[in-house]
Every structure is written in C-alpha cells, then in structure tokens.
Amino acid sequence: MAVKLKTKLTAGLIFLFGVILIFGILGIININLLSRDADLILKDNYKSVIYCNNMLTALETVDTHKDAMDKFEENLKNQELNITEPGEKEQTEEIRKNFEELKADPKDPSNYSEIRQSILQVLDLNTSAIYRKNMVAQETARNAKSWLAIIFTILILISFTFIFNLPGIISGPIQSLSDGIKEIANKNYSKRIYLKQKDELGDLAIAFNAMAEKLDLYEHSNLAKMQFEKSRIETIINQMRDGIIGLDAKKNILFLNVVAQKLMGLKEIDTVGKYAPDIALKNDLMRKLLQTDGDKKDLKIYLDDKEGFFNKDILDVKNNQEVIGQVIVLRNITIFHELNEAKTNFIATVSHELKTPISSIKMSAQILSDERTGPLAEDQKQLINSIGDDADRLLKITSELINMAQVETGNIQFNLQSTPVTTIVEDALDAVQVQAQQKNISIKTTIIPETPQIHADKEKTTWVMINLLTNAIKYSYESSAIEIYAGPRNGHVELSVKDHGRGIDEKYLARVFDRYFKVPGSQERSRTGLGLAISKEFIEAQGGKIWVHSQIGAGSEFGFSFDANS
C-alpha cells in the first residue's frame, strides 16, 4: 500500500515531537528526584547541625552573657521539633534533663560535660546522616545521567537517520521535477521523469510525463504547418505596397518586408535580431519611426527616384493583454496626396474663375435695383434682392474655398506686424453690425485698457474675428446678447466671442475645427464647414492658439490668443 507524502511528513513531525516530549519528561523526573534528596538533607539534618552548634556556643558563654540561657532554650526547642534519626530522641531528652538541672542552679557547672557530650552525640548522628544521604543523592544523579545519556544517544541516532532520509524523500523528486521543467522550457519535449515513489510526488511525475508527451506530439504535428504559415505570411507581407517592420518586446528587429528595406536602404539579413535604436543611430528614417511624440504628419520619402508620402502607424502585438511586440506600418498614401493636390488645384481654379462672374451678377443686380434704370414692380425687387443675397453667399463660399486652397498649397502669405487688438475688434464689429441689427442682437465689448499689441496679420486676424462673430450671430436667439473680450489673460493676449445660443454637444467640440464638418442638426445649408478650419489655420500659422468652450443650452465661446508683442 502506497504511503502518501502527507502521511510521511506527519509521521516525521509526530516522531520529533515525541523525542522532545520523552526527553523533557525524563529530565523533569530526575530533576525532581535530585531536588527531593537535597531537600531531605537540608530539612532533616542540616538544621539539627545548626541547632547543636548554636547550643554549644551558648553553653560556652553562660557565665558571660545573660541571654545565653535563652538562646540555648530556643535552639533546644527547635531541636526537639526536628528529631529524624534513630537515637536522636534519647540524646535530645538527655540534653533537656541536664539543661533543666543547669537552669535550677546556673552557677553549678558540674553537668556541662554531660550536656556537651549529648549535643555532640546529636551532632554526630546528623553529620553521619548528611554524608549518607549525600551519597544517595550522588547515586541518583549518576543514575539519571546514565539513563539520560543512553536515551539521548538513542534519540540522536534515530533523529539523524530521520534527518538524512526525509529531506531526500522530498528534495530528490522535486529536483528531478525542476530539471524536467527546465528541459521543457528549452523545448526538449522528450524529457521524462521516473520516480519509484507511490505518493503525491510520484503522481506529479506521471502527470509531468503525460504533459511532455502531449507537447512533443503537438510540436511535431504542427511544425510543418507552422513553417507553411510562416512562409505564406512572409510572401503576403513582401507583396504589400506598404513598408512593414516587426519588433519584439525588447525593440529587436524581427523582420522587414521588401518595401521597408527599399525605404530605409537596409537589408533584412543585416538587421534582423539587432536592437532597433542602435540602427536608428545611423538611419534617420528608423529614428523617425521609433519616435513616439504623437507627431501624425505624413512622411515624405523618395522611393524609386520618385517623391512619395507615407503614413506611420504603430500596432501593438498582444498576448493575453501583455504587449509582446510591435508592428510598424508605413502606409503608402502618395496617390491620396496626388488626388488631394489635384482637388485643391481644381477648387482653387474653379473658385477663382467663379469669383469674377459672381461679382458681375452682384453688380448687375445692384444696377437693376437702382431706380434710375427704371421703376420695378414689388415682385421684381424681391427677385433682385434674392439674386444679390445668393451672389453674396456664393462670393463668401468661393472666398473660403480660395483661402483653404492657399492654406493647403502653402501659398498663403502673412503680413505680420504689431497690431492693436482694438483695431481688430472695431473692424470686425463694423462688418457684422447690419447682421446683428437684423436679429436685434446687442454686442457688448470689453477691451482692457493698455492691452499689449500682438504680432499678427491684421487682415487675416480680423477675418477670423468676423467669422467668429458671424457664427455667434447665426446661432444666437433673437434679442439676445453677444460678449466680446479683448485683453491679457494667463500671460497671453486673448480675443474671444461668447454667445448665449443653443450651444454645442461636448462630443462634437473636438471636431468643430475640422474641414467640412457641420454640427449635426444645423439648419444652415449655405455653410461650407470651412470657416472655422480656415480660422484655425490662420491663427496657428501666426503662432497663436484657437479654442472653444461650449455647453448645450448655455451657448458657446470661441477665442484665440497670441503672445504679447514685446
């Protein structure tokens, strides 16, 4: 029958406990025996010796000390209560009889010798008893030492046997299991462990061997399939037009596809297994790819003697939520750049070409509305006014498209100079005064005196201010108010426009400055969705910052800021 490891450990611990218990009990018993013998010596005989010596001393000083008789009497009474040895009682009685005679006539020293002789007899009896009992105590001590030495030797031998055997029963199999696990970790799935034990460790060895066998079968059955899948994936990656670089968790290069090798001027055979930051020391593109500063600008790279544009994307490779590597993808977006450039050129050309005929249409409508050209019916006036409004909207749209085309192509020019914020605010107010009056909106202006001038393009900054005011008027309620602020704030010079309209949902705030974006639910159809995008480009190109705060039902506040012109 197999004995379980738990049973072995329990038996060993019980044995050790028994050793300690037996040795302790034997020690206590023998110590008690020795204590008893010593106590008997002190109690029965040593006290009698003291009493006898005290009586002898008192007897010698009867003539010289008045209290000698009292001391003798006191020690004699103590002796009478401490009679333990054969013959001691008779000698004590003889002392009492002679002492009584002495007390009757203290001046008669004739019985001193009889008293002294009786005291010496009692002293001799107790001295002999002390010697005899001391020998008994020594014999008891010798016996105790002998027995304890024998028992201690036996227990030590058994304990040493236990100590040398029990650890081997546990540590040997554990060491074998540890060696086996290391072999498995090194993918040596042929490793097996054989233990003769029929306990839990033996069961563990059987389970280990079963696991190793399964891993061995899995490794050999899937190796060919894995090789095939690896080759297939490598073929697919190398056929892609995007550059792909694989890194492990320690930033070592795992692979580069053909496109990545061409882009970086590297060969896979020379880079695989090397630390990517070391490669980046001599390769500008690798250094740019490893940067994680959040720069999302497209990369301009020459490939096959042609300028190309690529977008960097870093993908984390995870296993059970743990990042085990990264894949850097350089997506070829050259065709999109070409299409975007073509779109920008087309918009710029069409907008520029449309601006002249639209201006002519507006001028013709103004001439027709002049009474000097002839009287008009009411319906005709409404049509002419409608033509004029449509022409204004078309001119605004074409102007925005031209501005955006200039921004995208980089052809926009800025005339940066010291500009007072008062001038920008006043020019913007003049441009929107009519629109505000049509909705009975009051505009409250707060300009902090002695506000520093800003280094900006007056015309384009005023255009931004007009755009913000126009939007505020559009989305404000009838007979409401708009607030303008211009002055220092948080170390910068700030201009802001605040309305009390319906506001913008928080989830759309991050996109209001995107091109062509319109807040869902907006009823304004004539908007292109470019005004705020152009405003953002104008302000940031001059080194400023533009922002928005809004809340549904509480209105919106748009603003921009510049460093003070020192």
Domain boundaries, the chain: 5-171, 240-330, 338-408, 413-562
pLDDT number for residue 496: 95
pLDDT number for residue 533: 86
- Per residue in 173-219, pLDDT tens? 677 777 777 877 777 777 777 666 666 667 777 777 778 777 777 66
DSSP states of 243-266: EEEEEETTSBEEEE-HHHHHHHT-
CA angle 98, 102, 107 (to 5 degrees): 150
244 neighbors 256 (Cβ within 8 angstroms): yes
Third-level CATH fold of 413-562: Heat Shock Protein 90 (3.30.565)
The torsion angles phi and psi of 149, rounded to 5 degrees, stand at -65, -45
Tell me the C-alpha distance between 383 and 396, whole Å.
Answer: 20
What dihedral do alpha carbons 448, 450, 455, 460 form, nearest 10°?
Answer: 40
pLDDT number for residue 344: 57
- Per residue in 13-52, pLDDT tens? 676 667 667 766 766 776 666 666 555 555 668 888 888 8
| Beta-sheet pairing, 299-303 with 306-319 | antiparallel
Q: Decide if pLDDT at 363 tops 90.
A: no
- Per residue in 312-332, pLDDT tens? 777 788 877 788 888 888 777
- Nearest Cα residue to 301 out of 292, 312, 314, 293: 312
Query: 240-330, superfamily in CATH?
Result: PAS domain (3.30.450.20)
Helices (H) then strands (E): counts for the chain: 15, 12
Q: Which residues 6+ apart lie within 8 Å of 227 measured at CB?
A: none
Q: Which residues 6+ apart lie within 8 Å of 481 measured at CB?
A: 441, 442, 443, 444, 500
Half-sphere exposure of 248 (CA within 13 A, CB side): 8
Tell me the C-alpha distance between 327 and 314, whole Å.
Answer: 6
- Nearest Cα residue to 327 out of 244, 395, 383: 244
